[in-house]
Amino acid sequence: MEQPNLSYIHSMSGGDKAFEQKLINIIKEEFPQEKQAYYNSASAKQLKETAENVHKLKHKISILGLEKSYEIAREYEENLVEGNTNLENEFNNILQNITDYLEQL
């Protein structure tokens, strides 16, 4: 599985460490909340709301340099809109991967 990284954040910051830290702090604050909202809607089988939560999480996935994971999330979101949950396990693994990474920052 690909590993999260800060390459995108570094490229955006132009070397501004304060900006990088601010962005990392925002991700560390928002990600757990968005992840919990996703799990709540997924466990309640609210597919439309689950798709909306996946959409929000896609941005964090992208910022953390996870290109393949982003494509899985994009496809999962589309599938949810059509009533299909078959990428749920893969998406949940991506969320766990990000959680583990953020805990180490």
Contact status, residue 65 vs residue 27, Cβ threshold 8 Å: no
Cα angle 77, 5, 61; round to 5: 10
> In terms of Cα–Cα distance, which of 35, 37, 48 is closest to 91?
35
Confidence (pLDDT) at 13 = 95
The count of other CB atoms within 10 Å of the CB of residue 76 is: 24
Q: Report the C-alpha dihedral over residues 97, 5, 12, 32, rounded to 10 degrees.
A: 20
The pLDDT confidence band at residue 86, using thresholds 50, 70 and 90, is very high
Q: What is the pLDDT of residues 47-60, one digit of tens each?
A: 999 999 999 999 99
Q: What is the pTM of this model?
A: 0.95
| Token code pair at residue 78 | 């589309």
